[in-house]
Amino acid sequence: MIRFGVLGAGRIGKVHARTIASNPKAKLAYVADAMPKAAEDLAAMYGAKPATVDAIMAAKDVDAVLIGSPTGFHAEQIQAASNNGKAIMCEKPVSLSVEKIHETLKVVEKNKSTLMIGFNRRFDPHFAELESRLRKGAVGAIEIVTVISRDPAPPPADYVKGSGGLYRDMMIHDFDMARFLMGEEFVVVNALGSALVDKAIGEAGDVDTAAVQMQTASGRIAVITNSRRATYGYDQRMEVHGSKGMLAARNVHNTTVELHNAEGTLADPVQNFFLERYGQAYANELNTFITAVESGNRDPRPSGFDGLQAQKLADAATESWKTGKPVKVS
Ligand SMILES: NC(=O)c1ccc[n+]([C@@H]2O[C@H](COP(=O)([O-])OP(=O)(O)OC[C@H]3O[C@@H](n4cnc5c(N)ncnc54)[C@H](O)[C@@H]3O)[C@@H](O)[C@H]2O)c1
């Protein structure tokens, strides 16, 4: 039985608490939040106890921590959990600073801790199936990976100011998916970006519309496009084109019902945002972590290294957008 302490009882902490509580191999023991009432409410839903972050770190009856606090706390909480002998599942991103990720991974390595990073899209059943067929050779040698990711509506400009910018906050998931599908590291990144959706996002120093091209040492290419707005819902698609064909994963609609009439065909809207679209992915992700901890697998994926590589690509894209030049990635 893996006994969990959840750090952060916000949007994502609630999703993960539900999965922990519903897995027979796990137990939700404690919940901590900077706002005690939030911890109390979430703990009460599943018969857990509210506690402070420090108490969870020190607790002998906690085997694993789930870090769902705001990004700025992830690195220090990973380090504290590692130094206290806990297994760690941490939400993306590890940190907005590559330096800090290096420092954190050194601590994790020294303590031989189990660390998994919350790049949930790898666990989406559709994308996981695409990747599995890709690895079995369905399209031959990979030539171009295309990832399209559009949010239904932009966040408030205030959120954008503390987010690290679109490439680090939003496209980070797509950098991870592009690496996951390509199976080879990218060595150069070229980014374009504009504020076309909300002028306030541009005034806050960020973009809401972006396209990135990346290339591996062997010449394979990935193209990612992002928008902070899509009038038709949460647009999440990917394609891999190769020497023998093309694999594509399309959007998931609210239902499979379509209206056909003389004007054409009308499908239901696509699922609106991440909590609906990736509900199954979040559960699969955390259940994978629980199985890894239970079976003594100390290297579940996506790993801390995957977190580091995605962050490097996000930094390179940010620099490329600012300088107008392609940026090499080491
Ligand atoms: N993988 C995904 O798809 C996904 C989706 C949403 C959020 N996230 C990530 O999860 C993290 C949290 O995002 P959210 O949307 O749930 O935010 P949120 O604001 O809804 O929740 C964060 C919670 O953490 C609490 N908190 C603040 N400081 C804390 C601390 N030091 N220790 C413990 N708790 C603290 C806040 O009071 C709040 O209740 C972010 O890093 C975000 O990038 C990932």
Task: Please list the rounded mean pLDDT of every run of 10 residues in the chain (330 residues).
Answer: 97 97 98 98 98 98 97 97 98 95 98 97 98 98 98 91 93 98 98 97 96 98 98 97 98 97 97 95 98 93 97 98 97
pLDDT of 169 reads: 94
pLDDT of 320 reads: 98
pLDDT of 162 reads: 85
**Residue 147 in contact with ligand 1 by CB distance below 6 A:** no
- Scanning the structure block, which residue is given the tokens 């085997």? 63
pLDDT of 96 reads: 94
Task: Give the torsion sign (CA, 62, 68, 72, 78).
Answer: positive
Note if the bond before 93 is cis, omega within 30 degrees: yes
Q: Which pTM was predicted? A: 0.96
**Residue 53 in contact with ligand 1 by CB distance below 6 A:** yes
**Residue 155 in contact with ligand 1 by CB distance below 6 A:** no
What is the whole-number distance in angstroms between the Cα of residue 71 and the centre of ligand 1? 7
d(CA 41, CA 39): 6
**Residue 10 in contact with ligand 1 by CB distance below 6 A:** yes
- Which protein residue's CA is at the shortest distance from atom 41 of ligand 1? 71
What is the whole-number distance in angstroms between the Cα of residue 25 and the centre of ligand 1? 25
What is the whole-number distance in angstroms between the Cα of residue 287 and the centre of ligand 1? 20
**Residue 78 in contact with ligand 1 by CB distance below 6 A:** no
**Residue 92 in contact with ligand 1 by CB distance below 6 A:** yes
Where does residue 132 rank: exposed (0-12), middle (13-18), buried (19+ CB within 10 A)? exposed
Residues 66 and 5 sit within 8 Å (Cβ to Cβ): yes
**Residue 34 in contact with ligand 1 by CB distance below 6 A:** yes
- Among 42, 66, 69, which is best to mutate for testing ligand 1, by the most ligand atoms less than 8 A from CB? 69
